[in-house]
Amino acid sequence: MKIAVIGQGRMGSLIDQEAKKRGHTTVMGDCLVPDAIENAKDSIDLYIDFSHPDNLDFILNTAAGTNAALVLGTTGYSDEQLARIEEEAKTRPVFFSSNYSLGIAALKELAKAAAAILNGWDMEIVELHHNQKADAPSGTALSLLETIDPNNEYEHVFGRSGKPGARKKEIGIHALRGGTAAGDHEILFLGDQETVRISHSAQNRQIFVNGALDAAEFMEGKPASLYSMTDLVGAKR
């Protein structure tokens, strides 16, 4: 495939390198440096974006009028942007996930089962990322929150301070930032005299790069729809 890699930061560079290793051709750019992608837009098969929410308009405008697929891994989208992504998936194949790790996909399955079995236990989510990450909590933490509270039955408390008093029917979400941590996520289920922890630790960004390219190759020839890691994991079974 001919792949447009949006953004020229660390993730963009790693995706570009891995795509070439797998035999794809690439072109790089974003809304600030658009020429290379705009000049090649008619021949682009797929866009991969792990950059910044501000690039969404550029991607959708450049891809307009083509059949190119989208693989979106950027976090921090607004509700309006998320709605636009869902609308775009009606006209082209769109793969969207806040985390492209196979391990995180497994973590969600385990968390879903634990939440059902440990119904009534207290639940907390803790995530750790590097000191350059822009958004907090992480998109993955929010997706884990949706996994364990799909019907919004709990109050969502983002950090605590002061004197919050006795715990209510709530889930706490805590964001830690520092160093070069690629991404750690932990869900705690706290019951009477016992605690269950389910966690995942990313050792480096390459796992997300590999997942993004797996998603890109999975998307080849797919019809218009919104795809996720659930679809990719299902294809691997």
Q: Could you say which of 2, 130, 133, 174 is catalytic? A: 133
Q: Which two tokens stand for residue 203?
A: 């050792």
At residue 224, the 3 state secondary structure works out as: coil
Q: Which two tokens stand for residue 181?
A: 């941590």
CB count within 10 Å of CB 209 equals 24
Instruction: Give the E-state strand segments of 118-237 in sequence order.
Output: 122-129, 155-158, 170-177, 184-191, 194-201, 225-227
What are φ and ψ of residue 80, in 5° steps? -65, -40
Please confirm, yes or no, whether 108 is among the known catalytic residues: no
Q: Could you say which of 41, 108, 129, 185 is catalytic? A: 129
The CA distance from 149 to 154, in Å, is 7
Q: Which two tokens stand for residue 20?
A: 């070439």
> Does residue 51 contact residue 58 with C-beta atoms inside 8 Å?
no
Please confirm, yes or no, whether 133 is among the known catalytic residues: yes
Q: Could you give the residue numbers annotated as active site?
A: 129, 133
